[in-house]
């Protein structure tokens, strides 16, 4: 991805290493104790304006995946 000028938006914003993410994007069987970070955006790091992941208590009744929101400056 880097060869194409793309990088993980989450990792650019948080400066965390891949595999050591502190914010889950998925809760297996909607179980708060079985969480993983498995959803990603890849984009040009210079155009990332904001990045956010929905919170468990706000979204778990709707899905086991949390919304991943990306705001870009592309125009």
pLDDT on residue 64: 98
pLDDT on residue 74: 74
- pLDDT band for position 7 (50/70/90)? very high
One-character DSSP codes across the chain: -GGGT-EEHHHHHH-PPTT--SS-SEEGGG-TTSEE-----EE-GGGEEEEEE--HHHHTTT-SBPPEEEEE---
pLDDT on residue 75: 65
CA distance 12 to 10: 6
The residues, ordered by sequence, that sit 6+ positions from 61 with a Cβ below 8 Å of its Cβ are none
Q: Please check the confidence at residue 4 and state whether its pLDDT lies above 70.
A: yes
pLDDT in tens, 14-73: 999 999 999 999 999 999 999 999 999 999 999 999 999 999 999 999 999 999 999 998
């Amino acid at each position: 991805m880097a060869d194409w000028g793309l990088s993980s938006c989450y990792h650019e914003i948080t400066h965390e290493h891949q595999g050591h993410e502190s914010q889950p994007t998925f809760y297996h069987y909607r179980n708060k104790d079985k969480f993983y970070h498995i959803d990603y955006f890849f984009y040009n790091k210079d155009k990332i304006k904001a990045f956010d992941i929905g919170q468990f208590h706000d979204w778990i009744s709707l899905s086991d995946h949390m919304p991943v929101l990306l705001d870009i400056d592309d125009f």
